[in-house]
């Protein structure tokens, strides 16, 4: 039995979260995009992009691989750090669930290493990357529940709308 923090759900904009770590649903370029990524870079400002550019100039010269996670400053966001992870694009012909699970596991591991006690996740891969919400919610909840989150006081999913919130609520009820 692993030690788990209670999972919280919220509806809103992840960039407004007052937590130690905000998780970004990035792409492998780490240089920004739409959705959560665009909002984080817009509000976080040039310091976030600057650290992403340094990562691209160094350790992640070919980009951040899908499923992995890396931290930068949160710049002007209320959070202390952004942990960027790259979700898989939904595929109807190939099961990429483990990669989506990896995003959650690796983001938690990077956050724990930083000493974070609170973390907010978006619904990774459910926007531009088209992963069906109920399935993404099931994988996200089951994965976080399977991790040791005893070092965290808060593990929160921040959902953009009621449909996403309902999908996560249902996953919390059923994924025990």
In the shown chain, the binding pattern of residues 128 to 167 toward ligand AR6, with x for contact by CB under 6 A and - for none, equals xx----------------------------x-x---x---
Shortest Å, Cβ 2 to ligand AR6? 26
37 is a catalytic site residue: yes
Give 23's DSSP letter: E
Contact 30, 64 (CB under 8 A): yes
Contact 12, 42 (CB under 8 A): no
Q: How many helices (H) and strands (E) does the chain have?
A: 5, 6
Contact 21, 119 (CB under 8 A): yes
User: What is the Cα–Cα distance from 48 to 28, expressed in whole angstroms?
Assistant: 15
Return the residues of window 14-53 that contact ligand AR6 according to CB under 6 A: 14-15, 25-27, 33-37, 39
In the shown chain, the binding pattern of residues 50 to 89 toward ligand AR6, with x for contact by CB under 6 A and - for none, equals -------------------------------------x--
**Where in the sequence numbering do the catalytic residues fall?**
37
Q: Where along the sequence are the contacts to ligand AR6 (CB under 6 A)? A: 13-15, 25-27, 33-37, 39, 87, 122-129, 158, 160, 164
């Amino acid at each position: 039995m692993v030690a788990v923090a209670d999972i919280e759900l919220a509806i809103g904009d992840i960039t407004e979260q007052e937590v130690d770590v905000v998780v970004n649903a990035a792409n492998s370029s780490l240089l920004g995009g739409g959705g959560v990524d665009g909002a984080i870079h817009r509000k976080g400002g040039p310091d976030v992009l600057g650290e992403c550019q340094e990562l691209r100039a160094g350790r992640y010269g070919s980009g951040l691989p899908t499923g992995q996670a890396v931290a930068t400053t949160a710049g002007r966001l209320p959070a202390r750090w952004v942990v960027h992870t790259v979700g898989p694009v939904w595929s109807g012909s190939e099961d990429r669930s483990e990669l989506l699970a990896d995003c959650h596991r690796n983001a938690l591991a990077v956050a724990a290493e930083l000493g974070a006690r609170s973390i907010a996740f978006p619904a990774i891969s459910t926007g531009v990357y088209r992963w069906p919400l109920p399935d993404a919610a099931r994988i996200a909840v089951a994965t976080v529940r399977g991790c040791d989150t005893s070092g965290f006081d808060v593990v929160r999913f921040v959902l953009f709308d009621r449909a996403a919130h309902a999908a996560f609520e249902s996953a919390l009820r059923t994924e025990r």
